[in-house]
Structure 1
Amino acid sequence: MTWDEERVARAALTAVVEPGNSVTARRLADMTAEDVWHHLLRDADERWHERARSTDVDQVIASSQKAMMRFLIPGDEEWPAGLDDLSWVEKSAMGGAPIGLWVRGPARVSQAFEPSVAIVGCRAATSYGQDVAVEMAHHLAREHCDGTGRHAIVSGGAFGIDVAAHRGALAANGTTISVLACGLDVLYPKGNAAVLERIAETGALVSEMSPGRHPTRPGFLARNRLIAALAAGTVIVEAGWRSGAINTVSWANELGRAVMAVPGPVTSSRSTGTNKLIRDGEAILVRDADDVGGIVAELAPEPERPEGRSLPTDVLDATELAVHEALPAHGSCGLDELSASAGVPVAQCSAALTVLEQLGMAACCLDGTWSVTLAADRR
């Protein structure tokens, strides 16, 4: 990481401008960070002018280095691509990608996006909500014998559901990322400092606020948009209708991320928000980590094929491929059912099955039904 003029200017802006300020975000789309910073220093009518004049940028950088932080800016190799989606989302005069990202911890936040899941909820969580969050995060974060799992868990480090999710991931020796609404040199809330320090040792603490800055209500709302943007999907475990977790979900919906909710007792005020999201079709009902993992996997992009690597299905034409994909993963089905499922006329479906059988990709059962076979994949 090189402290060039652009990086220094962005670091200075994180020490002065409120996070999520859409005006600054729009300026950075048209001007360099250096120009924006010098404009704040020169123009006495600017909102952040006095704060900019009194900021010691060298001290900000020195504090970050003392606390073993790194400062990411757009274009860096470790910059999370998901944050760029914030450039086109604005809510209540808040929006835009962060000016920069302060990070503590060994985890590379750029690599956590694709398999990551945000788990959020209310601070005054019930034992039911905390148990669900711990178990869900633990199951998602650990690696299973079939090679699945290892999702990074993203949350906000707050009391209740947030810290329960972090604890579940840590117990599984998984990766967890905590997005804070303050500088990373003084951890907040203090009651969760021990958990946050463990995250700094194995995962990552993230903030768009420079060292020395204290949490504010707007800062928490801005933090919520980062949680939503860093994750491939967001799960809300327990929350009333008016809560920060609902705000995180609204950002996730705006960004087109998967939004999931765990249902709760209809008599519990802690579940009014989650139940309403499910009722109104704004969140998918999930019961456990398996439900969450399945939804996130469906939305994940197909992994790139190594150069020069071919698949057995590459030799199939469009009709044969459609019939092959329509074959059930388990059991078998008849010709008419398969034809309807593949959207292929019966005669063409029958001809395609003959080709697939010759290639070892389909098998005709004794009762005349057809099943898929992986013989071609074992060659």
Structure 2
Amino acid sequence: MTRSQSRTRLLLSLVVEAGDPRLVAWRERCDPVELWHAVVRGGPEIPDPWREAAAEAPRRADHALRRAEEAGARWLVPGSAAWPVALDDLDEVDGIGHVAGAPLGLWVRGGGDLSSIAAAPVAVVGARGCTTYGAEAASDIAADCADQGHAVVSGAAFGIDACAHRGALLAGGPTVAVLACGVDVDYPRAHAALLRRIGEEGLVISEFAPGAEPQRHRFLVRNRLIAALSVGVVVVEAARRSGSLNTLHWADQLGRTTMVVPGPITSQASCGTHLAVRDGKALLVTSGRDVVADTFGVVDADLPAISPAARRVWLRLGTEPQPAEQVAAALRLSPVAVLRALRELERHAVVAGDENGWRRDRVPGGTQGVG
């Protein structure tokens, strides 16, 4: 991805509202550079708001880049080495409501590598007005997932989201906050310290430019990113019309594992999650171990105490040999890091390697590895 192409995507992101389904139709017809030229020319097929915004886009882009530099953020686009390719799946599914399509790019704040952190993440989301039960469940599940080497993705909102982020951080794992505003905007304001810590130990991301304030529809727009980034999505508490169920619907469309936590049958905070189970839209989980087992097909007790990197490598392996270079490319890790993880797994006798590559061998106690 050249600087010119990256700049073009940035300009388009300031002209076209994120998630606009009309952008999907245009990208099927031409690449972003061609679309930008069409917007600047202002043909009759270009929506009026796009054409009107194009004149100010270069100035706004420069302003956004200055704010990003001040906040320690960067603009990331598809084709970059750090781009999480899972987001590209959004171009392959129908939209929900008036939202569709993969993002033109992402603003990323934090020192972590997004593609590495997003290799096998789990989203934990739920109601803003959660119960004490829901808060504890979200924190425990997020901590369990983080402890087993999985980044936790959520939306940094009050309630379940905040508990999920804090649970992951307490377990020493990375967490990713997906915002409905600029990555330099503390929203909600009461979460300024939490967002700062997420940026230090994980990542804060958004497709909205630095300085952008949250708007009601943008929360639904960002939900598709939470779902697409994750391998599985857990809703801890959700009322019948909760926005968290929108994230679950996106995950279902994308083929991600969809899960919910049960609550008391008398609790309105859980009626949406219970309905999802009744309708066959989600699996019922009660712990982080359930989440990992249902999402990755492996139970934590099957493995010895290994590093998070080794766990990610083991989850990637199957019963058929894979070259270490192939594993490294799939996980976006360096070949050296993957070989180090493989040697660690080999010492525990759970993988085997030969001239064809590496595969799962067995787990302690003689049980065969899960393929």
TM-score range for the pair, normalised by the shorter chain length: 0.7 to 0.9
Return the offset for 1:9.
1.3
Return the offset for 1:156.
0.4
Does residue 1:250 correspond to 2:249, yes or no? yes
Give the root-mean-square deviation of aligned CA atoms. Answer: 2.7
Pairwise mapping of residues 287-298 of structure 1 onto structure 2 (< 5 A)?
287-298=286-297
Any unmatched runs of 5+ in structure 2? 299-314, 326-338, 355-360
2:176 partner SS: strand
With normalisation by structure 2, the TM-score equals 0.79
Tell me how far apart the structure 2 counterparts of residues 283 and 66 of structure 1 sit (CA, whole Å).
42
Return the offset for 1:139.
1.6
CA distance 1:125–1:63, change in 2 (3 Å): same
Tell me how far apart the structure 1 counterparts of residues 36 and 353 of structure 2 sit (CA, whole Å).
56
Correspondence for 1:87: 91
Pairwise mapping of residues 1-379 of structure 1 onto structure 2 (< 5 A)?
4-43=3-42, 46-55=48-57, 56=59, 57-89=61-93, 90-142=95-147, 149-298=148-297, 301-302=316-317, 304-306=322-324
Tell me how far apart the structure 1 counterparts of residues 260 and 278 of structure 2 sit (CA, whole Å).
10
| Equivalent residue letter for 2:96 | K
| Equivalent residue letter for 1:53 | A
CA distance 1:313–1:26, change in 2 (3 Å): same
Q: Equivalent pairs: percent with the same residue?
A: 42
List structure 1 runs of 4+ shifted beyond 4 angstroms. 307-314
Q: Which segment drifts farther, 89-98 or 130-139?
A: 89-98
Return the offset for 1:127.
0.5
Q: Based on CA coordinates, which of the two structures has the bigger radius of gyration?
A: 1
Return the offset for 1:218.
2.0
Return the offset for 1:301.
4.5
Correspondence for 1:350: none
Q: Which segment drifts farther, 13-22 or 224-233?
A: 13-22
Q: Which segment drifts farther, 56-65 or 230-239?
A: 56-65
| Equivalent residue letter for 2:140 | E
Return the offset for 1:107.
1.8
Any unmatched runs of 5+ in structure 1? 143-148, 315-323, 331-371, 375-379
Tell me how far apart the structure 2 counterparts of residues 313 and 179 of structure 1 sit (CA, whole Å).
38
1:188 partner SS: coil
| Equivalent residue letter for 2:179 | L
With normalisation by structure 1, the TM-score equals 0.77
Return the offset for 1:168.
0.5
Tell me how far apart the structure 2 counterparts of residues 196 and 176 of structure 1 sit (CA, whole Å).
10
Kindly indicate whether the alpha-carbon contact (under 8 Å) linking 1:19 and 1:209 is maintained by their aligned counterparts in 2.
yes
